[in-house]
Amino acid sequence: MAYSGIVARVIPDSISAQLGLEPGDRLITVDGESIIDIIDLSFALADESVELVIEKKNGEQEILEIDKEYDEDLGIEFESAVFDGVRRCANKCIFCFVDQMAPGMRESLYVKDDDYRLSFLYGNFVTLTNSGPQDFNRIRRLHLSPLYVSVHTTNSSLREKMLNNKSAGKIMEQLSALIASGIEMHTQIVLCPGINDGDELERTITDLYSLHPSIISMAIVPVGLSRYRENCYSLEVFTPEKALSVVTAVNKWQQKCRKTSGTSFVYLSDEFYLAANQPIPEYDMYDGFPQLENGIGLVRNFLHEWQQESIVTTGYQTPHHLAVLCGISAQKFLEPLLDVVKIHNLTISVIPVKNEFFGKDITVSGLLTGQDIISTLSQSGEGRTGVIIPGTALRKGEGVFLDNMTLDELEGYVGVPVRAAYSADGLRELLQTWR
């Protein structure tokens, strides 16, 4: 079957720009071969002369003969990294957040992708339940490493039950086969109280650590429960007591792993420490933050960045009042941090936003919506000069919240400038140079 990659952007002054490629053009073949994804493409283009067949938007095909340096980039970005379509998952996990998504949101939020290529390219987690011998051969042949694998449990029958998939139980064989081919992996566990915690978690850590260092890291995140759970498996959230028992168990493992291999190996997401009222681990315990993109170590990383520089400003000539918004769980570390900031003529209020959109059990800043922010601000007094929101609540590269409200629309509702802080440095900068 023939596939084509649709050009999304042509980098100015690149080879592609000089050849007149435009957004909307389709890449049909390279040297006569159909290409299924950008991994294939990068191999096909590793030559000094290549022939591309391009289909223009009017349906006409052009042949482009290109002479270039062996590793010279063509300067094309594609609409999708996979030209044959994103692989969908074959599971029906009992904890799936896509099944708990509010109705009427943008289509991409309902896509259940489980594609090893996106795992290699972007760090998306895959379960490997839809990967057959051909896929494993390709991973080996192209050495697609490291991969990011959702393990959840190494107990075969429990994994089959959690993923609702009869072929989910061979995870240890799959991991071992990949490791035998030199593939390294980061892993994650979505922890569900009473299902895969306690002894089951001990077993999973033991099994995965036995495959270290090829299994580079193991992240544990708590199950997220939204209010859209009709027809979903009955699950509970972590109480402070249950969160504490996870923290205690993982602390022990981290000490043990550091003694035997020099890394913590297993890392908890911040929600566990915040729910259990336990200190966030020190910076060194995160070993370079191998799963920061997965939200592991965000608070420690933020605190570290915050401590690297001091606030340097003479302050403001007129009184300013900035509201710094966050999810309920972030209030615990953000409030003490900002309480001690003293800037002339500046009042800072940390305002936690309750998540009414997804439900009260969702406390992270990254799932806040524009409508919840408006509702919180309308109940929390007036006289603000501006509002600072967490950048994680916005779609990457765009000023749009999960409920499709734009930053501009939010600004219109609240009547003062709204800015997003994407990091500790960003927050410091906004506080000392508000305009």
Please say which residue, 100 or 263, places its beta carbon nearer to ligand SF4: 100
Q: How many other CB atoms are found less than 10 A from the CB of residue 247?
A: 19
Distance (Å, whole) CA 148 – CA 116: 8
Q: Which of 132, 115, 133 is nearest to 124 (CA)?
A: 115
**Closest separation between CB of residue 172 and ligand SF4, Å?**
18
Please say which residue, 127 or 376, places its beta carbon nearer to ligand SF4: 127
Please say which residue, 127 or 167, places its beta carbon nearer to ligand SF4: 127
Using CB under 6 A, list all residues that contact ligand SF4: 89, 91-93, 96, 98, 112, 114, 127
**Closest separation between CB of residue 364 and ligand SF4, Å?**
17
Please say which residue, 112 or 140, places its beta carbon nearer to ligand SF4: 112
**Closest separation between CB of residue 125 and ligand SF4, Å?**
8
Alpha helices in 309-420 (DSSP H): 331-339, 370-378, 407-414
Distance (Å, whole) CA 309 – CA 311: 7
Cα 423 to the center of its chain, rounded Å: 15
Distance (Å, whole) CA 419 – CA 403: 18
Distance (Å, whole) CA 91 – CA 79: 26
Please say which residue, 92 or 143, places its beta carbon nearer to ligand SF4: 92
Angle at 202 (CA atoms; ends 201, 205), nearest 5 degrees: 85
**Closest separation between CB of residue 361 and ligand SF4, Å?**
17
Q: Is 170 helix (H, G, I), strand (E, B) or coil?
A: helix
Give me the sign of the Cα torsion angle 329, 290, 113, 56: positive
**Closest separation between CB of residue 114 and ligand SF4, Å?**
5
Residue with tokens 């919240």: 401
**Which residues, in sequence order, are CB contacts of 99 under 8 Å at separation 6+?**
92, 232
Q: Which of 68, 7, 21, 71 is nearest to 42 (CA)?
A: 71
Q: Is 160 helix (H, G, I), strand (E, B) or coil?
A: helix
**Closest separation between CB of residue 356 and ligand SF4, Å?**
24
Q: Which of 428, 214, 194, 173 is nearest to 311 (CA)?
A: 428
Please say which residue, 159 or 428, places its beta carbon nearer to ligand SF4: 159
Q: How many other CB atoms are found less than 10 A from the CB of residue 206?
A: 11
Q: Is 208 helix (H, G, I), strand (E, B) or coil?
A: helix
**Closest separation between CB of residue 38 and ligand SF4, Å?**
22
Please say which residue, 93 or 387, places its beta carbon nearer to ligand SF4: 93
Please say which residue, 58 or 231, places its beta carbon nearer to ligand SF4: 231
**Closest separation between CB of residue 238 and ligand SF4, Å?**
18
Distance (Å, whole) CA 160 – CA 44: 38
Cα 276 to the center of its chain, rounded Å: 24
**Closest separation between CB of residue 35 and ligand SF4, Å?**
27
Please say which residue, 46 or 98, places its beta carbon nearer to ligand SF4: 98
